[in-house]
Amino acid sequence: MLLDGGSYHLACFVAQQVAEKALKAFLYARGEQIVVGHSVEALARWAAEHDAEFGALRDQVASLDAYYIPTRCPNGLPDNIPARVYTERAAQETLRMADLVLEAVRRKLDEMT
């Protein structure tokens, strides 16, 4: 819906959030008690301590971290606003990366059950 409506900056932010929350879910499912932070790269690196597949995934999705603050904060970009900067192409790419994370986490959680 955000993508179709042209809210590309918000689609990028939500994609980062989806990846972050999915990785946190995996870590909690693996028994971690306190999972803090917002970095997809750091969370994927941590997840790789439980399953090596997340190490390779980290390389593919680490750039999602660049969409955490500037996509939603009006003062996050110099002399501009997120709605003018982020493009459909960027939104599609971030959503693709979020899908990679979701699929990996789903697969790993299914293997645990």
Q: Does domain 8-112 have CATH number 1.20.120.330?
A: yes
Q: What angle do CA 46, 50, 54 make, to 5 degrees?
A: 65
- DSSP 3-state assignment of 9? helix
Instruction: Note the pLDDT of residue 100.
Output: 98
**DSSP secondary structure code for residue 6 in this structure:** T
**pLDDT tens-digit readout, 22-38:** 999 999 999 999 999 99
Q: Residues 48-63: what's their mean pLDDT? A: 97
- DSSP 3-state assignment of 87? coil
pTM of the full structure: 0.95
> How many Cα atoms within 13 Å fall on the side-chain side of residue 89?
1
Residues 69, 17: Cα–Cα separation, whole Å: 11
Q: Who wins on pLDDT, 4 or 85?
A: 85
Residues 108, 113: Cα–Cα separation, whole Å: 9
Percent with pLDDT over 70 in the chain: 100
Domain boundaries, the chain: 8-112
Q: Who wins on pLDDT, 109 or 78?
A: 109
> Is 113 a residue whose pLDDT tops 90?
no
Q: Residues 51-74: what's their mean pLDDT? A: 95
Residues 86, 27: Cα–Cα separation, whole Å: 30
